[in-house]
Amino acid sequence: MAQTNLDHWAQWMLHRRHGGDPEQQQRALLDFLYPVRDRVLRNAALEEGDTLLDVGAGDGLIAFGALGQMGERGKVIFSDVSQDLLDHSRALAAETGALDRCEFVRAPAEDLSAIGDSSVDAVTTRSVLIFVKEKQQAFEEFYRVLRRGGRLSIFEPINSFGCPRPQNVFWGYDVTPVMDIARKVRALYESIQPPDTDPMTDFDERDLLSLAEKAGFGEIHLELQVEVAPTGKTKLLHSAKTWKQFVRTAPNPKVPTLEEAMSQALTPEEAERFAAHLRPLVGAGQGTARMAVAYLWAVKL
């Protein structure tokens, strides 16, 4: 399926999150995404013959990883708001001979009504709640579909850790000499995702704990990982290695790439000045990444 025919979720997941660079995507898988997958599945404590519901399955990273851990009787339900991503995962399942062990449901995290009460043994999510406004409702749905003794395992970036953002820092780089231009680009992004109200930044790890407890989970564990490190040397965030990757990467599915944002917010002269300042910093990795992520796992007693 051509990129232009995909919905914005699939475009980002399959192309725009790594600047359209297959090598960058493979590096991100090895360095960051596979370890996250393995930790989420370990916390889910899967057993042979289990049924797993992977909410916001995306490209199937968690779901396909789970299939090998539950034996021949194990089953995975792929749930996502994107039909294009569900179709992508269905095609992969068919290619790998796993289609008979997979089910595909188009549904948002806060409305899993297509899934029966007490019908699954485990629920997993990865970077899903950052797009969900009704987070409490999502947790209640996770609780509802789980059987007694069922496990919830989630991973979420805690984007509020980086807020409020210093005006002289843009995506981890010091932009003091071009702060007037950076302010215009930042304003474009914030008009799309206001930092005070957008689901990506309206919660922290303590909120996740509270949401799980209010939903009814009786055993809850949470681990927060925080990192402040030079760009390119982080373990929690995969950074672009080249200027081309940097400007052609969209931070998330709802916003433009930096290249697109500069075109929309700046004059050609401003864009040239902004790039002239940022390009050498990106190439040399002379930035600072600030990142926090949380793993939460819980049991329905």
**What integer pLDDT is reported at residue 29 of this predicted model?**
59
DSSP letter, residue 55: E
Q: In which element (H, E) is residue 64 found?
A: helix 61-67
**What integer pLDDT is reported at residue 164 of this predicted model?**
84
DSSP string, 154-187: EEEE-GGGG-SPPTTEETTEE-GGGHHHHHHHHH
Lookup: tokens for 175: 């932009």
Residue 217 identity: F
Burial class (CB in 10 A: 0-12, 13-18, 19+), 172: buried
Domains of the chain: 3-159+201-230+289-299 (3.40.50.150), 164-198+240-284 (no CATH)
**What integer pLDDT is reported at residue 245 of this predicted model?**
87
**What integer pLDDT is reported at residue 28 of this predicted model?**
62
For every one of its 301 residues, what pLDDT tens digit does the chain have, with 9 covering 90 and above? 445 588 888 898 888 876 666 666 666 656 788 899 999 999 999 999 999 999 999 999 999 999 989 999 999 999 999 999 999 999 999 999 999 999 999 999 999 999 999 999 999 999 999 999 999 999 999 999 999 999 999 999 999 998 888 999 999 999 999 999 999 999 999 999 998 899 999 999 999 999 999 999 999 999 999 999 998 777 777 677 789 989 998 899 999 999 999 999 999 999 999 999 999 999 998 999 899 999 999 999 9
**What integer pLDDT is reported at residue 25 of this predicted model?**
60
**What integer pLDDT is reported at residue 5 of this predicted model?**
84
Q: Does pTM surpass 0.85?
A: yes
Write down the residue that tokens 């948002």 correspond to: 108
Is residue 261 a contact partner of residue 206, using CB atoms and an 8 Å limit? no
**What integer pLDDT is reported at residue 1 of this predicted model?**
45
Burial class (CB in 10 A: 0-12, 13-18, 19+), 195: middle
pLDDT in tens, 30-41: 678 889 999 999
